[in-house]
Amino acid sequence: MAINWFKYSSPSSFYPLAGKIIPVFMTLAILLIMGGLYWGFFETPDVLSDQKQYYKIIYVHVASAWMAMWLYVVMVAWAVLGLIFNTRMSYMMASATAVTGAIMTALSLWTGAFWGQTSWGTWWDWDPRMTTQLILLFLYIGYIALQSAIEETRRSDRASAVLALVGLAIVPVIYYSINCPDPNECASLHQESSLKRVEPNILIAMLVVTAGFWMYCFAVILMRVRNIILQRESHTNWVERLEAFR
Amino acid sequence: MSLVVNQLQCSRGDIALFEGLSFKLIPGQLMWLEGRNGSGKTTLLRTLCGLFLYDKGRIEWQGESTVSNMDTYRQNLLYLGHQNALKHDLNPVENLQTLSRLAGKSVSEEQTDEALQLFGLAGYEETPVRKLSQGQQRRVALSRLLLSDALLWILDEPFVALDVVAVELLQSILVKHVEQGGMVILTTHQALPIAEDKMLRLCLDRYV
Amino acid sequence: MFDSFRALVKRDLLLAMRRRSDVFTVLLFFIIVVSIFPLGISFEKAILQKIAPGVVWVAALLASTLALERIFANDYADGTLEQILLTAQPLSILVFAKIFAHWLLTGLPLVLIAPLAGLQYHLSATTIGTMMVMLLIGTPILSMIGAIGAALTLGLRGGGILISLLVLPLYIPVLVYGSGAIEASMQGDVSLQPYYLLLLAFLLLALVFAPWATAASLRISVE
């Protein structure tokens, strides 16, 4: 059976659909995050001494850091869809994703600072990962700032989409330059992914929490998109009928 | 050689300005665009130039959509908007020459001098545009009409800021262009001395 | 096509000649920022040499963003930008002409004045040479990426500060390798070639994509 996907590219049919799936995502998010955190907090072997239990912030820290990066790609994907098909819904999804992405980035920096303070005794370190995350936050802020600075919806949507795309094109270069500021020594700087060293139980708990974060982000993005739809479509008949129905 | 517009719809900020707009303009015709303030006259002109994106419909030049045919279309197009598109620190000759060369055509100083002279600007060739009056600046901008070989002129309120003499001059230039097989689309509150069979009237208020 | 390119570059240079103060403000800004750092940090020779690469590049970054707003703003205000968009020439070529002229007026002067900053910070002649080469490769990148930001923020209130917000994070690679090379040249025995190659690669990338992205942004903004 063929589904007409473009049917849902119109705000009036997407609005009720989003309303129906938000509770599903939210429930999944709560179950996964609670389950993952319980597993991580109480069912994983103690790899560190009792004084160092602060490491358990990684369940939030790593999940939010991953979300921050993935959501940027998701945002650009929506923006590109908007530029290609000229669908208003895609732009609304992109701008809703940006805010959640920025919040996730800020959360990862915040939890990272706490972790850093307890384990290294410093709130901030110019470690490549932290620096990349900070720059990512700047990119999100730039996108949101440009979008809110332009009053006309169409220009604001398209201009910020171009900016997001340019950002994505330069991100690898930025990432490379931060990770390898001295090109003469780059060969030795290939950091091995720290994931391999993680105890399997902890890793599973971390992945479960991350899945929960995905669900949470979906739910929140859809909620935000519903608000954007109402704002932008406030002059249309279907929104008026919606109001009357309430 | 014709401009065909079919079921055009434009909107500004989610609100439709006009919809279902269709017309056909052939060489030797002038289209007078009317409508109250805010009816979207300027938007329509900018849409026809390809500066503004339309929501629905089709614009054809020589039987081909302007989307695929944009370069040929633009070679035949001259647009004069509200702004004069003149650099205030350059003199009229420099302005006209740069604009021509940007469009891919070079004009000699004799040609620009002649055009400026016709518009009563002899003696101002070397004066920076910022020192000219509003009406004089408008006349410099209008001199481009005489230097261009574009077939289709799209003019947004070309008579604004002109005195009686210049108004008559512009009228005669428009008439001549139409008689020579050119096409004009313009908005104005000025009466146009052009035969009814050569003039198309389009009132945007009917397409809301 | 090439004729239009030349006409636009010539026009912008001519306009700058008639309004020279615009060129000098950027240059003076650079000089003042560079001169002010020692007052706030230290006059000690070793410290000055240590901070020189970063200071020079940050000053160049700031001077470049400061100048960016003007690249399209005047053309937008007087309607010539519309005419540029309406020519049958490829817009990215004309945009490239604008960027090139802009760089000649704001980037190149920084390269030429850089030895002065080098003397203030007690840099050796070789280091100053490296600094100039790096600025020569780096400042065009700044102009190109910056042009995208300028096109996107065209005609917005508070556009100037917004441009810096959008563009400064994108300048980071130039800053990292630009100042990295100067630092490396002070150590003497380090090969500078990787720095040149990386920055040149970035310049090439910018040359290919930036005019095109700027052209697309202009069409969106001028609507």
Q: d(Cα B48, Cα B73) in Å, to the nearest integer?
A: 10
Q: Which amino acid is at B3?
A: L
For residue range A9-66, list pLDDT tens digits in order. 788 888 888 999 999 999 999 999 999 999 888 877 776 666 677 788 889 999 999 9
Residues of chain C above pLDDT 90, percent:
85
Do residues C124 and C53 make contact, with C-beta atoms less than 8 angstroms apart?
Answer: no
Interchain CB contact of A154 with B (< 8 Å) = yes
For residue range B48-66, list pLDDT tens digits in order. 999 999 988 999 999 889 9
- Measured CB to CB, residues of chain C less than 8 Å from chain A are 145, 148-149, 152-153, 156-158, 162, 165-166, 168-170, 172-173, 176-177, 180, 184, 190-191, 194-195, 198, 202, 205, 209, 213, 216-217, 220-221, 223
Enclosing domain of residue C207 = 2-221
Q: d(Cα C142, Cα A48) in Å, to the nearest integer?
A: 48
- H helices within C19-44, ranges in order? 20-40
Q: Of B74, B84, B94, which is closest to C79 when you measure between CB atoms?
A: B84
With residue B57 as reference, give the H or E element that holds it. Answer: strand B56-61
Q: In the predicted model, what is the mean pLDDT of residues B28-57?
A: 91
Q: d(Cα C27, Cα C34) in Å, to the nearest integer?
A: 11
Q: d(Cα B15, Cα B43) in Å, to the nearest integer?
A: 13
For residue B82, the distance in angstroms to the closest alpha carbon of chain A comes to: 21
Grade residue A212 by pLDDT with cuts at 50, 70 and 90: very high
DSSP state of B82: S
Q: Which amino acid is at A111?
A: T
- Chains contacting A (3+ CB pairs below 8 angstroms): B, C
Burial C126-141, CB ≥16 within 10 A → b, else e: ebbebbbbbbbbbbbb
- Could you tell me the CA-to-CA distances from C24 to C28, C106, C139 in Å, in that order? 6, 9, 17
Q: d(Cα A211, Cα C66) in Å, to the nearest integer?
A: 44
Cβ contact C86–B51 (<8 Å)? yes
Do residues C95 and C147 make contact, with C-beta atoms less than 8 angstroms apart?
Answer: yes
Helix, strand, coil abundance in chain C, percent, nearest 5: 85, 0, 15
Interface test with C, best of B99, B101, B154 (most C CBs within 10 A): B101
Burial B193-203, CB ≥16 within 10 A → b, else e: ebeeeeebebe
- Could you tell me the CA-to-CA distances from B169 to A52, A61, B96, B174, B202 in Å, in that order? 89, 74, 19, 9, 24
Chain B residues touching A235 at Cβ < 8 A: 14-15
List the structure tokens of B185.
């689309």
Q: What is the pLDDT of residue B59?
A: 94
Domain borders along chain A are 22-182+198-234
For residue range C65-89, list pLDDT tens digits in order. 999 988 999 999 999 999 999 998 8
What's chain C's Rg over C-alpha atoms?
A: 18
Domains held by chain C: number: 1
Which positions ≥6 away from A210 have C-beta within 8 Å? A36, A62, A63, A66, A67
DSSP state of B51: S
For residue range C18-73, list pLDDT tens digits in order. 988 888 999 999 999 999 999 999 899 999 999 999 999 999 999 999 999 889 99
Burial A166-205, CB ≥16 within 10 A → b, else e: bbbebbebbbbbbebbbbeeeeeeeeeeeeeebeeebbbb
Model pTM?
A: 0.91
Q: Which amino acid is at C14?
A: L
